[in-house]
Structure 1
Amino acid sequence: MKETVAILGAGTMGRGIAEVAALAGHAVWLYDPLEAALERALTEIRTDLQKLAEKGRLVGTVDEVLARIQPTQSLEDCAKAAWVIEAAPEQLELKQELLGQLGQLNPDNILASNTSTFSISAIAARVKHPERVLGLHFFNPAQRMKLVEVVGGLQTAPALLQRALELMQSWGKEPVQVVDAPGFLVNRVARPFYGEALRLHGEGIAKEHIDWILRGLGFPMGPFELMDLIGLDVNYAASTSVYQAFYGEPRYRPHPLQYQRVAAGMLGRKTGQGWYTYPPGPPRPPTPPPVQTQDTPLPLIVGPNPLAQELRARFRHTENAAEAQFVLDCRVKLERKHDFFENLPVVSLVWGHSASSVQAEFRERPVAGFSLVPPIGEQAIVELFAPLSGANQALELAQTYFRAHGHHTLLLPDQPGGVGFRILALLINEAVSALAEGVASPADLNRAMRLGTGYPLGPLEWAERLWLKPVLRALEGLQAELGEDRYRPHPLLRRMVAAGLETFGNLSLAPYAKGDLQTREEEAV
């Protein structure tokens, strides 16, 4: 017979977790102090189960599954359960009080918190026998999302973490073990997806363009439409929590544009107005133009990196400088961009600098900037940048060339790094930081970001695709031109490039680093 599970809180997350546990065959106590909340939760669960039944995806009947869920307003009932999962509102004192009371009522059951922001160690501090407290961070909606972060506090028993991993697997989830660090794994690594998008918008890039570009990279939603879906207040609270937990680390700093909308009550879809108005919601990305390469101008493609390789493999070009009509310079480091002598217009990759900075290297030639991130999908949008001196022949050539190959182009205000790459580079840098601190293994980190956020690739996988050295050089360039520590490359990335490493699986810290934030087994026994 399967162990009984108690869920504390009948809100969106609580009822979702209760449904998952009941579907897995467990008897479930669903606790909430408000009878109306319990009634609403059971109605929502019934509706969801009926949809599963209609699709032929429900084992048994709706009534059989619902019969396993027993609503209660008594913590004494919940104390009888072998597993207790707290899913109360995000208030530290409330979570400590609830699990503390359960700990007094039963000294032997396992106590878990679904918190997304608070330290498991802090919650456990108020619980009798804190070695039985852990985090089980589900993602919304819990009944659909496969990822669960299994979080060990400083005193959590290692054997308990293994039991939790096995339990989640039996529920059909894909658990990832992470350490008790601010934001855990996914909420921390994902912060630049929102934070850097807000900074780019503050620098004059239209929010629609940012969303279209990120969708073109393969992300299921752009950052602004995703903030509207999550709720600007929820997203802002998560950003603020991580920023405060890291004692003001600049790369987590929330943006005033987001606070302004939260203060105005423009919280996204749930209020009808966020970054977009609902309805109609965000505008759809533009349809790519038809491929018509017959008379397209041919470039000489310069650079050894994967972007240059993919462009050579898929786009028309020439290897003969005498035939070329312009140079497509895919090198990253600005200082390398003056060492060829063909007197042609230059369209330069801007991952590590602005188009205006390139113009200083080629004062006698027309110059434009571009950004494109491999792997290049059919919906990929090419970002184009004119230097501050204005549009010129190089920009016209770039527009004609990329449109002829079936890609929509956007002319954007001149900014170093572009949009898609700049956001991705900071995601990669944050993932490297989490890896260095031992938050998760490289494989688990990539898997968690794919499952928890829908990213097309894990950040470390993407770094390997781009090559680590170009990513490092681009971050160095961004820090130099923008003058902010938020672009500072993580020392681990520097060491890997210096050591000639190309993949994170080759690290000598394998299977993963045991940083100061990690719970060490020898300290827990």
Structure 2
Amino acid sequence: MGAGIAQVAAAAGHPVKLLDNRPGAAEKAVEGIRAQFAKLAEKGKISAEAAQAAGARLIPVEQLADLADAGLITEAIVENLEAKQKLYADLEAIVGPDCIFGTNTSSISVTAIGAALKRPERLAGLHFFNPAPLMALVEIVSGLATDQAIADTLFATAAAWGKTPVHAKSTPGFIVNRVARPYYAEALRLAQEGAADYATIDAVMREAGGFRMGPFELMDMIGHDVNFAVTNSVWRAFYNDQRFLPSLIQQELVDAGFYGKKSGRGFYDYREGAVRPTPRIEAAQAPVGKITVYGESGAAEALAERLETCSLSFSRAPANDGRIAEIGRAVLAVTDGRSATQRAFETGVANLVLIDLARDYTTAGWLAVAVAEQCEPEAAQAAIGLLQAAGFTVCRLADIPGLAVMRTVAMLANEAADAVNQGVCSATAADSAMRLGVNYPQGPLAWADQVGLPTIRTVLANLGASYGEDRYRISPLIQRQFFAGKKIHD
């Protein structure tokens, strides 16, 4: 990370000094960065002259005293509060009064780091994402004592370096590491309740939700030692708030030393000769029965368009109690956070099949479904056949409230809304951070606006009622905007 930040700054035209406490590490880093500049020149992304000039701006140094003339010092040392406090306290005695301190911490309180300084106002978070040269997002994190002018200078600096900076307040996890927790937590709960195997949930989140990686493969890539530690850190920092509750499944992996790709085993087996499991999809079924599409919701319109494309005849009817389609005796509806079995009982529609949220029902290749316990097997087969005829690869999950994509998006939006409501960041910053920092297909608040706050609120309320847990409490911001008849971004 340190080398990546140095590469970004040197490419932007700054002389950059690199210091490492390991003998020879700074020199090796400089060589590696210069090699990266040479590769960029070979690919035609920068000129040979620019690569040579950028490489010449890198200067390895051996002691803190060599940094006396620095205008900005960024650390990327071990994630330890005392170590960071000592480093910056030592630097205060060396650098000039105008030097800015930009900590690259991903989880430690900027306020706490600054508490050890004589001039904590000069310290702010300058949080890059790995790999720094490629990832666009930089979180500019203000501690309690941070001077706004310092935060603004770092914001402008990151922008001048070609990054997309966002302001954040120093609270646990800042923006990305806080708002991202439900992406892992809801998947882990789905697995713990037997909704489906890891490969199937990953496939649904990628192919229906539009996420670049499924939650289990992403945790394996990050490393469970790291991901679980961040979850625990955020959970403890929020005084054991159930919304951030760590998972026993991940605890077991960490205890076993199954950290993911780095150790050869995680949710998946990466050892030589291991076979990657395939998602479980439904066998082909025939769409038997008269087809009716109800209402004009996004899901209904997309289904109608897909049925027309495959020349399957159907009729249209006005909206009727949330159903989007019927085929024979089967009724299809988009999940509202209740299990299919509960909804079938409460509505009196026994042959109920629920479909999950899709990023775009018109183009999605996969779709998850849940079938009510009361549903006749023939009705479930007909509903699945209808979706297959419309071009969906169908994955049947156990009858879990909210299915996979819908409950995850609702919880991501809820957490982002809470961060905005608590003054951590703006709605625009939250959406930008999640798109650029973790490559979400859409910012969670913009996604909630697209799905509709009434739907998100209903899903959260039903999840809370189903589980009886504070974990699914609805953010005051969502409540307020809903009652005002507004979107989050209004």
Answer yes or no: same fold by TM over 0.5: yes
Q: Are positions 1:465 and 2:457 aligned together?
A: no
Structure 2: distance between partners of 1:51 and 1:288: 47
TM-score (norm 1): 0.85
Instruction: Report the counterpart of residue 418 of structure 1 in structure 2.
Output: 403
Q: Is the CA contact (8 Å cut-off) linking 2:384 and 2:394 kept in structure 1?
A: yes
Structure 1: distance between partners of 2:278 and 2:157: 41
Partner letter of residue 382 of structure 1?
Answer: L
1:364/1:185 Cα in 2 relative to 1: closer, same or farther (>3 Å)?
A: closer
Instruction: Report the counterpart of residue 42 of structure 2 in structure 1.
Output: 54
Partner letter of residue 30 of structure 1?
Answer: L
Q: Equivalent residue of 2:102, what SS?
A: strand
Instruction: Report the counterpart of residue 345 of structure 2 in structure 1.
Output: 360
Structure 2: distance between partners of 1:81 and 1:89: 21
Structure 1: distance between partners of 2:455 and 2:351: 25
Q: Equivalent residue of 2:434, what SS?
A: helix
Q: Is the CA contact (8 Å cut-off) linking 1:308 and 1:330 kept in structure 2?
A: no
1:267/1:47 Cα in 2 relative to 1: closer, same or farther (>3 Å)?
A: farther
Q: How does 1:333-352 map to 2 (within 5 A)?
A: 344-352=329-337
TM-score (norm 2): 0.91
Instruction: Report the counterpart of residue 101 of structure 2 in structure 1.
Output: 111
1:331/1:185 Cα in 2 relative to 1: closer, same or farther (>3 Å)?
A: farther
Instruction: Report the counterpart of residue 489 of structure 2 in structure 1.
Output: 505
Q: Is the CA contact (8 Å cut-off) linking 2:351 and 2:372 kept in structure 1?
A: no
Q: Is the CA contact (8 Å cut-off) linking 2:67 and 2:94 kept in structure 1?
A: no
Structure 2: distance between partners of 1:14 and 1:232: 22
CA-based RMSD: 2.8
State the shift of 1:415 in Å. 0.5
Instruction: Report the counterpart of residue 211 of structure 2 in structure 1.
Output: 219
State the shift of 1:362 in Å. 5.5
Cα deviation digits, residues 383-419 of structure 1 (max 9, x gap): 1222335762221111101111111001111101001
1:383/1:106 Cα in 2 relative to 1: closer, same or farther (>3 Å)?
A: same
1:505/1:422 Cα in 2 relative to 1: closer, same or farther (>3 Å)?
A: closer
Q: Equivalent residue of 1:369, what SS?
A: strand
State the shift of 1:314 in Å. 4.2
Structure 1: distance between partners of 2:279 and 2:364: 9
Structure 2: distance between partners of 1:417 and 1:404: 24
Q: Is the CA contact (8 Å cut-off) linking 1:355 and 1:386 kept in structure 2?
A: yes
Structure 2: distance between partners of 1:446 and 1:497: 19
Q: How does 1:137-286 map to 2 (within 5 A)?
A: 137-204=127-194, 205-216=196-207, 217-278=209-270
State the shift of 1:304 in Å. 5.7
Q: Is the CA contact (8 Å cut-off) linking 1:371 and 1:382 kept in structure 2?
A: yes
State the shift of 1:44 in Å. 3.1
Q: Equivalent residue of 2:341, what SS?
A: helix
Structure 2: distance between partners of 1:308 and 1:349: 9
1:413/1:288 Cα in 2 relative to 1: closer, same or farther (>3 Å)?
A: closer
1:387/1:285 Cα in 2 relative to 1: closer, same or farther (>3 Å)?
A: closer
Structure 2: distance between partners of 1:299 and 1:358: 22
Cα deviation digits, residues 261-281 of structure 1 (max 9, x gap): 112111111112111122568
Q: Which stretches in structure 2 are left out of the alignment for 5+ residues? A: 309-313
State the shift of 1:176 in Å. 0.7
Instruction: Report the counterpart of residue 518 of structure 1 in structure 2.
Output: none
Instruction: Report the counterpart of residue 68 of structure 1 in structure 2.
Output: 57
Structure 1: distance between partners of 2:289 and 2:358: 22
Instruction: Report the counterpart of residue 102 of structure 1 in structure 2.
Output: 91
Q: Which moved more, 1:479-488 or 1:378-387?
A: 378-387
Partner letter of residue 76 of structure 2?
Answer: A
Q: Equivalent residue of 1:215, what SS?
A: helix
Partner letter of residue 422 of structure 2?
Answer: E
Partner letter of residue 504 of structure 1?
Answer: I
1:95/1:377 Cα in 2 relative to 1: closer, same or farther (>3 Å)?
A: farther
Q: Are positions 1:37 and 2:25 aligned together?
A: yes
Partner letter of residue 141 of structure 2?
Answer: V
Structure 2: distance between partners of 1:505 and 1:404: 37
Q: Which moved more, 1:312-321 or 1:410-419?
A: 312-321
Partner letter of residue 275 of structure 1?
Answer: F
State the shift of 1:183 in Å. 0.6
Q: Are positions 1:92 and 2:81 aligned together?
A: yes
Structure 1: distance between partners of 2:441 and 2:380: 30
Q: Is the CA contact (8 Å cut-off) linking 2:281 and 2:396 kept in structure 1?
A: no
Cα deviation digits, residues 74-107 of structure 1 (max 9, x gap): 0111232110001101011101111111112124
Q: Which moved more, 1:28-37 or 1:346-355?
A: 346-355
Q: Are positions 1:14 and 2:2 aligned together?
A: yes
Partner letter of residue 319 of structure 1?
Answer: R
Q: Are positions 1:318 and 2:308 aligned together?
A: no
1:475 to 460, 484, 489: 460
Structure 1: distance between partners of 2:475 and 2:161: 37
State the shift of 1:313 in Å. 4.5
Q: Equivalent residue of 1:414, what SS?
A: coil
State the shift of 1:298 in Å. 4.8
Q: How does 1:420-499 map to 2 (within 5 A)?
A: 420-499=405-484
Q: Which moved more, 1:452-461 or 1:308-317?
A: 308-317
1:255/1:468 Cα in 2 relative to 1: closer, same or farther (>3 Å)?
A: same
Partner letter of residue 16 of structure 1?
Answer: G
Q: Which moved more, 1:483-492 or 1:299-308?
A: 299-308
Q: How does 1:373-388 map to 2 (within 5 A)?
A: 373-376=358-361, 378-388=363-373
Structure 2: distance between partners of 1:380 and 1:187: 29
Q: Which moved more, 1:348-357 or 1:280-289?
A: 280-289
Instruction: Report the counterpart of residue 382 of structure 2 in structure 1.
Output: 397
Partner letter of residue 505 of structure 1?
Answer: H
Cα deviation digits, residues 465-492 of structure 1 (max 9, x gap): 1111011111111111121111111122
1:296/1:210 Cα in 2 relative to 1: closer, same or farther (>3 Å)?
A: same
State the shift of 1:224 in Å. 0.8
Q: Is the CA contact (8 Å cut-off) linking 1:213 and 1:380 kept in structure 2?
A: no
Structure 2: distance between partners of 1:361 and 1:432: 30
1:330/1:21 Cα in 2 relative to 1: closer, same or farther (>3 Å)?
A: same
Q: Is the CA contact (8 Å cut-off) linking 2:220 and 2:267 kept in structure 1?
A: yes
Structure 2: distance between partners of 1:82 and 1:367: 65
Q: Is the CA contact (8 Å cut-off) linking 2:124 and 2:146 kept in structure 1?
A: yes
Structure 2: distance between partners of 1:364 and 1:153: 54
State the shift of 1:368 in Å. 2.6
Q: Is the CA contact (8 Å cut-off) linking 2:204 and 2:405 kept in structure 1?
A: yes
State the shift of 1:244 in Å. 0.9
Query: Once the two structures are aligned, what percentage of the paired residues are identical?
Result: 40
